[in-house]
Amino acid sequence: AQKVTQAQTEISVVEKEDVTLDCVYETRDTTYYLFWYKQPPSGELVFLIRRNSFDEQNEISGRYSWNFQKSTSSFNFTITASQVVDSAVYFCALSGGAEGGNEKLTFGTGTRLTIIP
Amino acid sequence: EAQVTQNPRYLITVTGKKLTVTCSQNMNHEYMSWYRQDPGLGLRQIYYSMNVEVTDKGDVPEGYKVSRKEKRNFPLILESPSPNQTSLYFCASSFSVGSSTDTQYFGPGTRLTVL
């Protein structure tokens, strides 16, 4: 069975600090996909990134970066120079299967990030 | 504007009264899915559909039904709602499965309360 663990339930940092959100996953599939989503206080879910299991290159998008390490089954998310608008609940998710893609997407329980002005 | 819409956004109902939450996307997406979000549990997949007339169970399908008669619509049906189905529900869609560049779009959510 697939499992995603986000051990950090809540994190608070002062604005402009860097923060890393941890995500550890379990799967028996050799081909799988990892995701991060943001849920701001307004409640919608915002897709941030999708990474397949064959691509271990780190990804950077502006102040966001992701570190994928198969050896430790982790897909951590770092926000650099945090801003108040980054305050949200962040979900890590996993899907798998030889056909790839979105079947049976498994989410972690989320990390609530609060940026203190 | 590309979007996934859900209706209603908020619903309070009573135990046993059948209800349907509609989901519609205007992006010609093949894949659609329903999730429920509960405190401390994250999002859990209820059902998904890879194309018209193709549906399959997710992790928590009990008490729910779905249908995919048209590509754009994927309604979630609760034949006999119970209080444990009180939750925040999300519909999602993406163009296809298996694409590393595909983006998943989520609807705005439907907050359901079953008394």
**What's the CA gap between A107 and B4, in Å, rounded?**
20
Name the residue among A44, A48, A39, A25 with its Cα closest to residue A95. A25
User: Which has the higher per-residue pLDDT, A52 or B18?
Assistant: B18
Q: Which residues pair with A93 in a beta bridge?
A: A35, A107
Which conformational region is residue B19 in: left (phi greater than 0), alpha (psi within -120 to 50 degrees), or beta? beta
Q: How buried is A32 (Cβ within 10 angstroms: 0-12 exposed, 13-18 middle, 19+ buried)?
A: buried
Cα four-point dihedral sign A52, A53, A57, A61: positive
Q: What residue type is A105 in one-letter code? A: L
Does the bond joining B83 to the residue before it have cis omega, within 30 degrees of 0? no
Contact A44 B40 (CB under 8 A): no
Say if strands B4-7 and B10-13 run parallel, antiparallel, or are unpaired.
unpaired
Q: Which two tokens stand for residue A63?
A: 């102040």
Q: Which residues of B touch A103 (CB under 8 A)?
A: 48, 50, 56, 97
pLDDT band at residue B69 under the 50/70/90 scheme:
very high
A71, A103, B51 from B30: Cα distances, Å: 34, 12, 5
pLDDT band at residue B102 under the 50/70/90 scheme:
low
pLDDT per position as a tens digit, B14-50:
999 999 999 999 999 988 999 999 998 999 999 999 8
Average pLDDT on B82-105 reads 81
Which conformational region is residue A83 in: left (phi greater than 0), alpha (psi within -120 to 50 degrees), or beta? beta
The neighbour count for residue B22, using CB atoms within 10 Å, is 16
pLDDT band at residue A57 under the 50/70/90 scheme:
confident
Q: Hey, is B67 helix, strand or coil?
A: coil
In chain B, which ranges are continuous DSSP H helix?
Answer: none
B1, B33, B58, B89 from B44: Cα distances, Å: 27, 11, 8, 10
Contact A107 B43 (CB under 8 A): yes
Would you say A92 and A85 are in contact if contact means Cβ atoms under 8 Å apart? no
Contact B97 A91 (CB under 8 A): no
pLDDT band at residue A101 under the 50/70/90 scheme:
very low
Is the pLDDT at B77 greater than 60? The verdict is yes
Q: Which residues of B touch A99 (CB under 8 A)?
A: 97-98
Distance from CA of B98 to the nearest CA of A (A): 4
